[in-house]
Structure 1
């Protein structure tokens, strides 16, 4: 799924930035919403009906768990346009102009490697081994021909798993845009303190409450 993002590049503020292609994991988002609903239901019930230290323990647990759930399920996203790749992982935001991208690798996880050899995992583009097997079965069925000699209609279906197709799209952008003037620059990495801060605060509060007995 892609939607536009209209932030202007620092390298050329007079040139409007091309819209972002935005890649996220629908399964991750669905799982995150479910986990937040369960945590909210149990946590609010403990806050209202709990006795003694229970409400405080529930509050500390919510402060710790909610940012972590959001970080690993709702937050991850990959933004790509003609100038750069922006990777929003659970605890970091990495911006890589296309000129700094050395390769995009797919194995048990999808990764981008910059010119210095540093690897960054693409949390929002998970590898689906099941999806690859499903596509392989489709290709096997599509290879069959009917009695008239025409290829089966199954062959017209997508030849690539979704995650692999996304990586192909990103590789094409590297190939076509790495030499562009607006694709030059340096890799920048920013920690997501809006996630780390509340999680650490919740963990500290929870430890203090447990040590107090």
Structure 2
């Protein structure tokens, strides 16, 4: 059995997606806690907040801090340091990084195709097209992933496809494009526990 997992997200879209996986797709145990912490562009502050919350969580639940696996989920928007600096910063504090470039929608597209799109408006258009092609109406709205939830419930293999597409996309990129698939892979592993 694994120890507790604390996942802190920079935004609502990431949390909603991870909650879909936790509650509806993988049925992940309750010792995995997902919450929103931080604001856009506050990458190192998010990592620091995860460390603070780990201490609080350990004290409240009677764990040793080292027993709690921590993740910071963020994307490239307004990033003040390089990805490698952020990764080193997170690792030095015992926090795993789940990163999307340029934004989380880049990972969402990987559920449907191996996309290398980095323009936010193009990503939204592509997600709107996918949403409508699946029989749902309206434009993509980052505040409402109910269409994706219903799609993943009907076709859970799309999560594995997103991981494969993300891994392939990373191999083709000169700089880190996505690492959020590592967290999704980890959640999949926890669901088998």
What TM-score range do you get, normalising by the shorter chain? under 0.3
TM-score, normalization: structure 1?
Answer: 0.24
- Higher normalized strand content (fraction of residues): 1
The structure whose residues are more often helix, as a share, is 2
Which is higher, the Rg of structure 1 or of structure 2? 1
